[in-house]
Structure 1
Amino acid sequence: MTVHSPVLFLSDQETKVDLLNNEAIARTIVRLISGTSERPMTIGVHGDWGAGKSSVLEMIDEAFSKNEQILCIKFNGWQFQGFEDAKIAVVEGIVTELIANRSLLTNAKEEVKNILRRIDWLKAAKKVGGFAFTAFTGIPTVDQLHSIIDTVKSKLSDPATLATKENAEQTIELFSNLLKDGDSRSVPKEINEFRKAFSDLLVKAKIDRLIVLIDDLDRCLPETAIETLEAIRLFVFLPNTAFIVGADEAMIEYAVRHHFPDLPESSSSQGYARSYLEKLIQVPMRIPALGETETQIYVTLLLIGSRLGENSSEFQKLLQLGREALCKPWEGKGIDSSKIKDILGDKSADISDLLLLSEQISPILSAGTKGNPRQIKRFLNALHLRLQVSADRGFGDNIRADILAKIMLAELFLPPSVFEHIASSAAKKDDGICKELAILEQGDRSKEESKTQTEQSGNKEENLSEENPTLADWKTRPEVIKWALIEPKIGTNSLKPYLFVIKDRKNYLESRAPLSPKLMALLEKLSGGEANAKACGLELTSLSLDEVESLLQALRSKLLGSNAFSSKPPTIWGIAELVQAHPKGFQMRYVEILEELPVKLLGPWAAAGHEKIVTDPICKARLERLIQNWRTNGSTALKTALIAQPLGKGNK
């Protein structure tokens, strides 16, 4: 195998290299915290998913890293999701980091012991799921602890009620240790004592300010997000503390509505979700979306940085040039290409293609991604990966980067019906041309020119005048017109090579006839999950074998086009119902479809549920061989689920 040049890959992880001029937001927060002395503070860094919140938090951490009187602790709620109660994870994580960073195990043994014991009480409140205690609704008293221990012991014979026997034994040990104090605890007293113990620990740590950076709350499930915010309340108003929370406001508001589902439908209650966040966050800072000019500057810096290296002296000069341009984005001027050439000298020829690509795709990329940096990076990654695969397959000059980029912009950001028509129309023609697109790209043609072209066409079916309904519809869509006017013009090019490149998402070059309206309606139902699929029973039994084949092929394409296999895909229910309605001849197809699924991505759902579908002995034998392969090469979750299945019973 020959290995060519490295494939471009733009990481969407947080970075200390500021390409978005968001450092201004970070500097403002740093000055705000530095100028408030002991005053407690909670600051929100808000923005859409992928807007750059994590990078802002990274810059804040970097700004304080050299100040020994300030300690920054980073907490990622998403990484802790599912491992433990989120409230306890936040509280214990902050305390543990503080102890570790200031060597307090040696210098403040009593204070450390005291704060850890307070945390044990908070853990006890959540340890047993059957007892509804939380840090804010109640902490068990001594009498209640005795009752809990007795209850847990009585359930040891059936550990499933307590998740695991080990969990039950740990619960008894924890509660028994807490009983050694013998004193009675109340909720206000315990919370106040925890806050006092934490304040004492801060004094021993000899720091002027503790800054906690909480990130990725908008990736968490609603319960985890709310519990993390509730944990912050334990620390709010403690002197010398500052919390900086990076989160998408809309996602947090959704989490609040999910947490309080019984709120009445009224104007006042609808604002409760926002009020909840505003009550906790004293200073909200929002990262704005990129405009068209900012997107072009960002894309230019991304592409050039990926080729020259972000640490190169030339790129650092370009970065400064980009920041200067970002100071006046309202003027609509990107980075001056002549200045780029002056900085790079002879190297400018190496990046001329990147400058052209940036100029071509930035306008529609800004609109399509709504100025979201992460979406921009993902588009550029997908573009370069497809170009690399095309080159390795030997497609050569048949694929141009600018044409592929324009097609991908339509594929990802235009209304699906528009791209479907362009792709399907081009695929059906011998010349690979979509005539409607060719006309649309010409822009403002005179009616006389349009009429002349129409008269020259002897085929009425090819009459593509302005009265063509598809063309008329496209002309009412500003995003379609804006995309069509982007260079290069592709309407007179054969799109077939490019449709082959993008067939990883859908193969438009297949010769299969489109589904009838009846089958399209069935496809929609069968793709809608268990209940919808089971409701199709009578309709499925009346299908002809040709209809079953067409429908099964459509379901297969839809299933394989998904990347979500950790939980049971809705389409699987439809495939199963269709095969059960027509078992003869299609059971093997069911097994073949299972064989096509990515074994490393399959969740535990795949371990069971096949016995009613696959009953033919030959098909069952092949299914069993597949399951044996899953036992060896499957994901951890799938192999764990299969362990519970006796050999030979994996299809049940």
Structure 2
Amino acid sequence: MIVADNETSVDLLYYEAIAHTVVRLVNEKSDEPLTVGVHGDWGAGKSSVLMMVEDAFADRERVLCVRFNGWLFQGYEDAKAVLIETIVEELLRSQSASTRVVNQAKTVLRRVDWMKFARRVGGVAFTAATGVPHPDTLKELYGAASNLVGKSADSITQGDLRSVVEQAGQYLKEAEPETETAPQQMHAFREEFEELLRRADIDRLVVLVDDLDRCLPETAIETLEAIRLFLFVPKAAFVIAADEGMIEYAVRQHFPDLPVAAGPATYARNYLEKLIQVPFRLPSLGYAETRIYIILLLVLNECGEQSDEFQKLVAFARQVLRRPWKGPGLDRNGVAEALGTVPPSVERALDLAYRIAPILTDGARGNPRQVKRFINTMVLRLAIAEERGFGDDLNPTVLAKIMLAERFAPEVYDAIARGSAGTGASEELAELEAVVRGDRQEPKDAEGGKKKDTGSDVALEASALPDWPNLEWAKQWAMIDPSLAEYDLRPYVFVTRDRRSVFGAVTSLGELDELLAKLSGPPLQVRQAAAEVARLPGSEAEQLFDALRAKATVAEDFSEQPAGALGLAVICQHHSFLQPSLIAFLKGLPVSKLGPWAVTGWTNALTSEDVKVEFKTLLSEWAAQDDNKPLQVAAKAARQMGRGGERR
């Protein structure tokens, strides 16, 4: 089971306290216009807080709660109009039986239509003045005509477009003289909107604006401007969830000519503070909160949201999260008291959280989404291993430790992958763990007694450590139990192979690395390695073949023989079961870029009769093609000789 990475009303972080504070603030200021900001990084839990606010108002008949996701309406021609229409439509839905509300809503929507047409008329005027139809104007007119005449854009005529322009002009003519200017239009709209709220007879309109920081700058600013200029009226409250940094970026992009700063703060910051009256910033998770969150996610993954274990554990966790600085958090004694016992699922979660929470707290920077993704990825990999039949070979704690390195220190993970490809053990990793855990054998003096620690001993220990840029982090990581030196790491590296291609050409082959280098070298060196190749077991020969084939396949220039091609021939000469794979390699090379080298030199490597037939067929194909003349000539010559020539 994977925990969905979206907003949720299941409160695992006790954000309900923040939501209830927002609700209380809205209730206390019920007659005043109000804007509340819920700030935090992406994945901090802003959307979940909005959902909890919405749930808190669900039973309040005289409070209308409207949810608006700016990101879902990305690409609309007028973000202000979309926001206003969404609010009015929700008022209509909740008050559809009231004729007074319906009539006033039509008036407000008519004003919105006027603003839309006013924008288009500016484009029409430009066209009339210059005689050149602007593409944006045509697009807007086609869209408007589609709405007005009920036709598709393909079937709209010039007459339809003229009708749209005439109606736009009629809207302007019908505007009262005192409301012809833009400020007067805004003032009229505000009065009409306030009247709509009075007729709706509600105590509070609460608009929850979400995902604004995901929008393009223009959409974000238009939405904020709609709140500030049109909708900031009595009884209206807006709760805006957004990352302050992204909104400040949108302000800078939308107003590029503004000075950088005004006094101690930037203009972008001043704009945001002017709009948001009461800011709430979601705090980053500390160690205690991260550990509790990991435990709850693991139990939720294993037992499900409706399980009795999970429900009781969440209730106990909320009590602890009220004062996370006190006590050990979700300790076994507290869990046993709350649940009556410590179920195996909770026991496993407690143990794993204890091991990984310290580093995950710093690495994820207190971001709940990053923690959740880590847990989801780990659970998914364990499920894949189970489906492939080697689930029993994986210890979740070991996998979690390797994933910490994968996520926060790639050089450590790369060392694990390199060292474990052969025997499953990493010498670099074992040395690191031995040093930081104090498992190295203590030096002896001449008489066999313990030798005193000296500066040179300390320097010797330090010099034994790998030269990694993030060595201090690696030391802390190496102290986490269990010690990886005790495990065969190959299944763990395999299940995390999305990090890198650990079994391709870049992978270390352990003791075979030296032979791999010889087979990738010049002809004399390759021939000298033939005796070693002949003594190899089939599995190791196949490993070498795959490594050489991968190296040859990624060559930049196939007009010349790529490194490793000679080695492939030598391996196939002594291990015939790989000869069909050599033919497949040759067939996969790009014909248009292939040099004549591909035609000759395979006589000793291709001993099977079936394989020889396949190679002759390939030669015929190369001889028949016209894209590569040198290859064509060489292939025809080889066919006439009846065999591939000997390699130089």
Report the TM-score when normalising by structure 2.
Answer: 0.70
**Pairwise mapping of residues 409-488 of structure 1 onto structure 2 (< 5 A)?**
409-414=404-409, 416-427=410-421, 430-442=422-434, 444=436, 449=441, 465-468=460-463, 471=466, 473=468, 477-488=471-482
Picking from 299, 317, 330, the partner of 2:325 is 330
Do residues 113 (structure 1) and 106 (structure 2) align?
yes
Relative to structure 1, is the Cα distance of residues 422 and 193 closer, same or farther in structure 2, using a 3 angstrom cutoff? same
Q: Deviation at 1:194? A: 0.5
Alignment of 1:296 with 2:305, yes or no, is: no
Equivalent in the alignment of 1:636: none
Q: Which aligned pairs between 1:98-497 and structure 2 lie closer than 5 A? A: 98-103=91-96, 106-127=99-120, 131=123, 147=125, 150=128, 155=133, 162-163=138-139, 166-167=142-143, 169-170=145-146, 173-181=163-171, 182=173, 183=175, 185-235=180-230, 237-264=232-259, 268=263, 271-331=266-326, 333-345=328-340, 348-414=343-409, 416-427=410-421, 430-442=422-434, 444=436, 449=441, 465-468=460-463, 471=466, 473=468, 477-497=471-491
The residue number in structure 1 matching 2:81 is 88
CA contact (8 A) 1:105 1:112 kept: no
User: In structure 1, what is the equivalent of residue 562 of structure 2?
Assistant: 546
Does the CA contact (< 8 Å) of 2:501 and 2:507 recur in 1? no
Distance (whole Å) between structure 1 residues aligned to residue 460 and residue 417 of structure 2 = 20
State the alpha-carbon separation in 1 of the partners of residues 50 and 268 from structure 2: 24
Cα 1:217–1:583 shift into 2, 3 Å:
farther
CA distance in 2, matches of 1:292, 1:224: 37
For residues 362-416 of structure 1, what are the alpha-carbon distances to aligned partners after superposition, in whole Å with 9 as ceiling and x for unaligned?
22221221111111111111111111111111114322111111111111122x3
Q: Which residue, out of 64, 89, 98, partners 1:71? A: 64
The alignment status of 1:46 with 2:39, answered yes or no, reads yes
Number of equivalenced pairs = 501
Q: Take 1:546 and 1:90, find their aligned partners in 2: how far apart are those partners?
A: 62
Distance, in Å, in 2 between the alignment partners of 1:470 and 1:256 is: 49
1:443-475 superposed Cα distances (whole Å, 9 cap, x missing partner): 5466983657xxxxxxxxxxx95343753546x
Is the Cα contact below 8 Å between 2:436 and 2:479 reproduced in 1? Answer: no
Secondary structure at 1:107 match in 2: helix
Q: Is the 8 A contact 2:415 2:429 kept in 1?
A: no
Q: Distance in 2 between matches of 1:618 and 1:72?
A: 68
Q: CA deviation at 1:162?
A: 2.7
Query: Residue 536 of structure 2 aligns with which residue?
Result: none
Cα shift readout 1:505-554 (whole Å, capped 9, x = no counterpart): 3122224479x9xxxxxxxxxxxxxxxxxxxxxx97899663899xxxxx
Equivalent in the alignment of 2:544: none
The one-letter amino acid of 1:286's match is R
Counterpart AA for 2:235: N
Corresponding position: 1:22 with 2:31: no
Contact 1:43–1:245 (Cα < 8 Å) also in 2: yes
Query: TM-score normalised to the size of structure 1?
Result: 0.69
- Cα distance, 1:165 vs structure 2: 7.2
Deviations 1:545-582 (A, max 9, x none): 63899xxxxxxxxxxxxxxxxxxxxxxxxxxxxx99x9
Contact 2:38 2:240 in 1 (8 A): yes
Root mean square deviation, CA, Å? 3.7
Higher radius of gyration, 1 or 2: 2
Amino acid at match of 1:546: P
1:153 deviation in Å?
Answer: 9.7
Q: Name 2:3's counterpart in structure 1.
A: 10
Unmatched tracts of structure 1, length 5 or more: 1-7, 132-144, 453-463, 517-538, 550-578, 587-615, 620-652
Cα shift at 1:56 = 0.8
Contact 1:422 1:437 in 2 (8 A): yes
Distance 2:132 2:564 in 1: 55
Q: CA deviation at 1:263?
A: 4.0
Cα separation, 1, equivalents of 2:11 and 2:626: 62
SS at match of 1:471: coil
SS in 1 for 2:280: strand
Residues 329, 432 of structure 1: CA spacing in aligned structure 2 closer, same or farther, 3 A cutoff? same
- 2:501 is aligned, of 483, 503, 507, to 507
SS at match of 1:491: helix
Aligned to 2:50: 57
Counterpart of 2:522? none
Q: CA deviation at 1:176?
A: 2.8
Give the superposition deviation at 1:174.
Answer: 4.7
Judge conservation of contact 1:211–1:242 (CA < 8 Å) in 2. yes
Q: Are the structure 2 counterparts of residues 119 and 433 from structure 1 closer, same or farther at C-alpha, using a change threshold of 3 Å?
A: same
CA distance in 1, matches of 2:137, 2:106: 33
Letter in 1 for 2:21: T
Separation (CA, whole Å) in 2 of partners of 1:404 and 1:172: 68
Letter matched to residue 481 of structure 2: E
Q: 1:617 to 1:91 in 2, by over 3 A?
A: farther
Post-superposition offset of 1:479: 2.8
SS in 2 for 1:404: helix
Q: Could you tell me how far apart the structure 2 residues matched to 1:420 and 1:179 are?
A: 68
CA displacement at 1:96 relative to structure 2 = 1.7
Contact 1:499 1:509 in 2 (8 A): no
Aligned partners of 2:498, 2:255: CA distance in 1, in Å?
A: 42
Shift of 1:122: 1.8
Change (3 A) 1:186 1:423: same
* 1:238-265, Cα deviation, whole Å (9 max, x unpaired): 1111100001111111222222334455
Contact map agreement 1:44 1:285 (CA 8 A) in 2: yes
SS of 1:246's equivalent in the other structure is strand
Distance 2:560 2:413 in 1: 31
1:93-127 residue CA offsets vs partner (Å, 9 max, x unmatched) = 12221222221673334312211111012212444
Question: Which amino acid counterpart does residue 138 of structure 2 have in structure 1?
Answer: L
**Contact 1:300–1:355 (8 Å) recurs in 2:** yes
How far has the Cα of 1:333 moved from its partner?
1.7
Would the alpha carbon gap of residues 469 and 122 (structure 1) be closer, same or farther in structure 2, given more than 3 Å must change? Answer: farther
| Letter aligned with residue 218 of structure 2 | E
Change (3 A) 1:173 1:92: farther
- CA distance in 1 between counterparts of 2:440 and 2:367 reads 42
Could you tell me how far apart the structure 1 residues matched to 2:291 and 2:107 are? 55
d(CA) in 2 for partners of 1:250, 1:37: 30
Write out per-residue CA displacement over residues 302-335 of structure 1, whole angstroms, 9 at most, x where no aligned residue: 2223333333444332222111211222236221
| AA in 1 matched with 2:404 | L
In the TM superposition, residue 168 of structure 1 has moved relative to its aligned partner by 6.7
